[in-house]
Copies of this chain bind each other. A is one copy, B any other.
Amino acid sequence: MIIVFKPKTSEEDVKKIQAKVEEKGLETHLVVGHDVTICGVIGDTTKVDPRDIEVSPSVEKVMRVEQPYKLANRAFHPEDTIVDVDGVKVGGGHMALIAGPCSVESEEQVIAIAKEVKAAGANMLRGGAFKPRTSPYAFQGLGSTGLDYLVAAKKETGLPIVSELMSADDIDEFNEKVDLVQIGARNMQNFTLLKEVGARVKKPILLKRGLSATYQEWIMSAEYIMASGNENVILCERGVRTFETYTRNTLDLQAIPVLRKMTHLPVIIDPSHAGGKWWLVEPMAKASVAAGCDGLLIEVHNDPEHALCDGAQSLKPKKYTKLIEELREIGKVVGKEI
Give A contacts to B, CB under 8 Å. 2, 4, 27, 29-31, 33-36, 38, 40, 42, 46-47, 49, 51-52, 54-56, 60-61, 63, 65-66, 68-69, 132-138, 166-169, 186-187, 189-193, 195, 211-217, 220, 223-224, 227-228, 240-247, 250-254, 256-258, 262, 274-276, 279-280, 283-284, 286-292, 304-305, 307-312, 326, 329-330, 333-334
A214 to B244 alpha-carbon distance, docked (Å) = 5
Q: Which of B49, B61, B329 contacts A138 (CB 8 A)?
A: B49
The main secondary structure of chain A at its interface with chain B is: mixed
**Distance between Cα atoms of A250 and B66 in the complex (Å):** 23
CA distance A135 to B50 in the complex (A): 12
Residues of B within 8 A of A333 (CB): 326, 329-330, 333
A101 to B: closest C-beta gap in Å: 13
Chain B: CB-nearest residue to A56: B305
Q: Nearest B residue to A37 by beta-carbon distance?
A: B40
How far, in whole Å, are A247 and B215 apart by their CA atoms in the complex?
10
Please state if A227 and B291 are interface contacts (CB–CB under 8 Å): no
Min Cβ gap A259→B in Å is 10
Cα A289 to Cα B283 in complex, Å, equals 10
- Measured CA separation A61–B29 after assembly (Å): 18
Which one of B55, B60, B280 contacts A307 once the chains associate, using CB atoms below 8 Å? B55
Interface centre among A30, A51, A63 (most CB of B within 10 A): A51
Nearest residue (CB) in B for A16 is: B305
Q: How far is the CA of A250 from the CA of B40 in the complex (A)?
A: 31
Whether A257 lies near B283 (C-beta < 8 A) is yes
| A252 cross-chain contacts in B, Cβ below 8 A | 242, 244, 250-251
Which of chain B's residues have a CB closer than 8 A to the CB of A304? 55
Nearest opposing residue in chain B for A212, CB measure:
B212
Q: A286 to B290, Cβ gap below 8 A? A: yes
Contacts of A60 in B (CB 8 A): 65
In the assembled complex, how far is the CB of residue A337 from the closest CB belonging to chain B, in whole angstroms? Answer: 15
Contact B254 A311 (CB under 8 A): no
A4 to chain B: which residues have CB within 8 Å?
A: 2, 65
Known interface pairs A38-B65, A46-B135, A65-B36; A246-B214 also in contact (CB < 8 Å) = yes
Residues of B within 8 A of A61 (CB): 65
The answer to whether residues A241 and B253 also contact, given A34-B42, A134-B189, A191-B132 and a CB cut-off of 8 A, is no
- Docked Cα-Cα span, A221 to B296, in Å, equals 30
Residues of B within 8 A of A166 (CB): 191-192
- Given A31-B38, A253-B284, A287-B287, 9 further pairs, Cβ under 8 A: A29-B33, A36-B40, A49-B135, A55-B312, A134-B217, A136-B227, A215-B244, A240-B242, A330-B333
Given known A134-B189, A136-B223, A291-B286, contact A258–B246 (CB-CB < 8 A) = yes
Could you list 26 examples of A-B contacts with CB < 8 Å?
Answer: A2-B2, A33-B40, A34-B42, A49-B135, A49-B138, A51-B311, A52-B312, A55-B307, A56-B305, A63-B63, A69-B135, A132-B191, A166-B191, A190-B190, A212-B243, A215-B246, A247-B258, A251-B254, A257-B283, A257-B284, A283-B290, A283-B292, A284-B291, A287-B288, A287-B291, A289-B290
